[in-house]
């Protein structure tokens, strides 16, 4: 993919109002990959006007006609899985094999899941003498992150368009390229003009203009907790509906009857997926105190076996981080962990051998971590796992729940009923019980506490984009 010079507004590729550009950087080489427009408030105004003009007609379009457009979009994305995987591997650093499946393939699956869901969805239902009608919220501003760019766009755009909303998509300036692929496929699928719009740009300009715009009815954001607070403040001025999928500091609890090697191996690998650039990473490994040292030994072995390198080279397990800023953030937390007295089991701030170009960080494991340390409290968003000892099941649950976040987690045990009892006590949106489950696009995804509000995916994700009306009938 070369440079992108236009925005997608009102069903057409149009010139941006201003000439400013954003350079997208290859995370492995630190060299320019492409440029995209740095959109402006004028571009936002045009996109919102187009979305508002299209809303009434799209909302009134029969569901089956909306789904026919989404089916064509699904089929178009299937044709471009390899292309998207390669783009995101370069932007974000996820190894190509994983990026092709997760970053390229899963978005198409997500779109298909909303198509299937909508056919049996209760758009209307009786309630005594009333009829309950579910109607689209309106114009949606979808703000997506850089770590899973098309994946998160599919979650928001798929649900919003299925519901009958119109959308303005604002991708992260770090990884915007897959969103242009999405816009091309929307255009090819024959959606009415203005139903979907794409405005690339910086968050402080395009993002804030969308969130504060009086013509936007709803904001859906995936991003940091700090960004979620800012979005909430701006959206409150016009009382917009807001859904937020924010940070995480998820815990994997290993009970004393679990297969320790299997549990530690699974936790380290899950936490290092996408170089740890995942809100659902199990970055806290909570183990029985008597097994702490053995867990550290296993974690070190797993981490040191993983191949760090160019994401486009076959056999790479861990690629670079997405940006120099993110690399420095992770290194700062590693230094802080050492200063706070945690034991550095493996990894550290030095670049991996032979990888002085690119945003690489060594896979890092800390042991002897307590919940008061910054590496246990704050989301690092890199390949760093902290091992925390617990006295018993109750202590493990206490440690897990002391986090200000509550997005994901896991419980490992050879007794499924026991693991489920512990899982039910965790204050978090999703928990994998007795192993790493396959990602379920029908299950609601979202968090408790500072991990956000609202849910994505499945029926609960679709309902976020719907208003409920009661018709009192004679």
**The domain that contains 116 carries what CATH number?**
3.40.605.10
- Residue among 300, 80, 316, 298 at smallest CA distance from 185: 80
**Are 176 and 325 within one domain?**
no
57 membership: H or E segment, kind and range? helix 41-60
* CATH number, domain containing residue 323: 3.40.309.10
pLDDT at 439: 86
Eight-class DSSP state of 15: -
**Are 237 and 382 within one domain?**
no
pLDDT at 24: 98
pLDDT at 217: 98
Could you list the mean pLDDT of each consecutive 10-residue stretch along the chain, which spans 474 residues?
A: 93 98 98 98 98 98 98 98 98 98 98 97 96 98 98 98 98 98 98 98 97 98 95 95 97 98 97 97 98 98 98 98 98 98 98 96 98 96 98 98 97 97 98 86 96 97 98 90
**Are 329 and 262 within one domain?**
yes
pTM (whole model) above 0.75: yes
Q: Given 91, 245, 378, 456, which residue is catalytic?
A: 245
- Does residue 378 sit within a domain? yes
pLDDT at 438: 76
User: Alpha-carbon distance 432 to 253, whole Å?
Assistant: 10
Clarify whether 245 is annotated catalytic.
yes
The residue range of the domain holding 93 is: 7-246+451-472
Within 8 A by CB and 6+ apart from 442, the residues are 113, 117, 457, 458, 459
**Are 20 and 65 within one domain?**
yes
pLDDT at 338: 98
User: Tokens 């998207």 — which residue?
Assistant: 84
User: Alpha-carbon distance 303 to 28, whole Å?
Assistant: 20
| Secondary structure of residue 244 in the 3-state scheme | strand
pLDDT at 473: 85
**Are 278 and 198 within one domain?**
no
Clarify whether 69 is annotated catalytic.
no
**Are 391 and 459 within one domain?**
no
Q: Given 69, 155, 165, 279, which residue is catalytic?
A: 279
- Does residue 118 sit within a domain? yes
pLDDT at 474: 82
**Are 47 and 156 within one domain?**
yes
Degrees, nearest 5: CA angle 221-225-231: 50
């Amino acid at each position: 993919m070369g440079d992108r010079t236009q925005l997608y507004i009102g069903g057409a590729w149009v010139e941006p109002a201003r000439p400013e550009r954003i350079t997208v950087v290859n995370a492995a080489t630190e060299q320019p990959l492409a440029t995209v427009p740095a959109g402006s408030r004028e571009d936002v105004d045009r996109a919102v006007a187009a979305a508002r003009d299209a809303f009434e007609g799209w909302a009134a379009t029969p569901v089956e006609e909306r789904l026919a457009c989404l089916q064509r979009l699904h089929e178009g994305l299937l044709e471009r899985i390899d292309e998207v995987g390669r783009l995101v591997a370069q932007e974000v650093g996820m190894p190509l094999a994983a990026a092709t499946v997760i970053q390229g393939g899963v978005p198409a699956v997500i779109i298909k899941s909303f198509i299937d869901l909508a056919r049996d969805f209760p758009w209307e239902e009786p309630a005594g003498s009333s009829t309950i009608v579910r109607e689209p919220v309106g114009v949606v501003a979808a703000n997506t992150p850089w770590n899973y760019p098309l994946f998160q766009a599919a979650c928001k755009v798929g649900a919003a368009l299925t519901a009958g909303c119109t959308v303005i998509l604002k991708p992260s300036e770090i990884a915007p390229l897959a969103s242009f692929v999405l816009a091309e496929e929307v255009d090819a699928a024959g959606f009415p003009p203005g139903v979907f719009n794409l405005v690339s740009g910086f968050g402080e300009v395009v993002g804030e203009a969308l969130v504060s715009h009086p013509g936007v009815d709803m904001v859906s954001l995936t991003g940091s907790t700090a960004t979620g607070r800012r979005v909430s403040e701006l959206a409150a001025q016009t009382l917009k509906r807001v859904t937020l999928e924010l940070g995480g500091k998820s815990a994997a609890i290993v009970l004393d009857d679990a297969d320790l090697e299997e549990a530690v191996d699974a936790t380290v690998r899950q936490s290092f997926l996408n170089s740890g650039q995942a809100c659902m990473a199990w970055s806290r490994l909570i183990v029985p105190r008597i097994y702490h040292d053995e867990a550290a030994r296993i974690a070190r072995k797993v981490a040191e076996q993983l191949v760090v390198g160019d994401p486009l080279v076959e056999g790479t397990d861990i690629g670079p981080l997405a940006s120099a800023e993110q690399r420095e953030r992770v290194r700062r937390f590693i230094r802080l962990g050492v200063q706070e007295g945690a034991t550095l089991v493996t990894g550290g701030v030095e670049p991996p051998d032979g990888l002085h170009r690119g945003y690489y960080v060594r896979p890092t494991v800390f042991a002897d971590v307590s919940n008061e340390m910054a590496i246990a409290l704050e989301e690092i968003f890199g390949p760093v796992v902290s091992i925390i000892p617990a006295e018993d099941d109750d202590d493990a649950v206490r440690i897990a729940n002391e986090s200000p976040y509550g997005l994901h987690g896991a419980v490992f045990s050879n007794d499924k009923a026991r693991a489920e009892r512990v899982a039910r006590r965790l204050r978090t949106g999703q928990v994998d019980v007795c192993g790493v489950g396959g990602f379920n696009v029908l299950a609601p995804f979202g968090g408790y506490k500072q991990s956000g509000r609202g849910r994505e995916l499945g029926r609960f994700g679709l309902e976020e984009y719907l208003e409920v009306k009661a018709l009192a009938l004679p």
